[in-house]
Structure 1
Amino acid sequence: MELIRIIISVLIPPVGAFLKVGLGLHFWINLILTLCGYVPGLVHVIWLLVRK
C-alpha cells in the first residue's frame, strides 16, 4: 500500500495527502500549495509521507 501511496502522491499530491491524513488541515494546505505550483505541493506531501 505504501508504494501505491507514493506513486499517487508524485502524480497528484492532494490525493496522496488525502490518503495519508484524510480531509484534515494538511490536505487543504497541500491543495493550496499544489494550486500555487506543483513542486510546493509535492514537497509537502513527501514531508507528510516521511514524517510518520
Structure 2
Amino acid sequence: MFELALSQPAAFVDAVLVAEGAGGWIGSLEARYRRRPPRGFGLVAPWPGWRLYQRLP
C-alpha cells in the first residue's frame, strides 16, 4: 500500500510530510517530493527541514 501511495498520492492520502534536508539517507518520498509537491497537492506548512503538503480541493 505504501508503494501505491507513493506512486499516486492523490488517490490514497490527504497529506504528505516530507523531509527536505540533504543529510542522511534519502528515501523515495524525499527524492520525489522534497522540492515540489505531488501533483494535486499544495504546500500548507513548511518547517525547518520538513514540508507538509495537503491535497488541493
TM range (shorter): under 0.3
Q: Give the TM-score normalised by structure 2.
A: 0.24
Q: Give the TM-score normalised by structure 1.
A: 0.24
Higher strand share: 2
Higher helix share: 1
Query: Larger Rg: 1 or 2?
Result: 2
